[in-house]
Structure 1
């Protein structure tokens, strides 16, 4: 596993319930400001193995990025179960719910 991937996994694992982070935010904190797509890859390939809270990661617009309706509904349900308000369009208020870790 690369250092970037290790840092990204650690950051994702640290997102507390009821909070979200963006793909780009995680990439920047992990050391690659332009690596948002790598975060997507990490979530896709490692979420189960490392029990990552994949549902707490959204796009920079504050929206659920999944296109598949079932997956989007699952992410919405999981976030709402943690107290995150999600609009019908899958939008989340980043000012209210975005996690800004102090240090990692």
Structure 2
């Protein structure tokens, strides 16, 4: 499993439009093969910082998402108006929180 997590920033003036576009993308993404979860939450309204958290079955599923027409359209539309620090992690030992 892959975990993708980090922060995305947009100008406060763009937050409403960005949120609508991201909500639409998220709904489509959650239906994609290999997507386990795809979530975004406004972490800090003052600086329009969103926490992005995704889980993917494997790299092929993530790559298909990144190359999907709607993902590319979203990125192209917001290119230059969003910035982020989002990282990808391999998770090879998934277990319940209270498991050792």
**TM-score, normalised by the number of residues in structure 2:** 0.31
Greater gyration radius: 2
Higher strand share: 2
Q: Which has the higher helix share?
A: 1
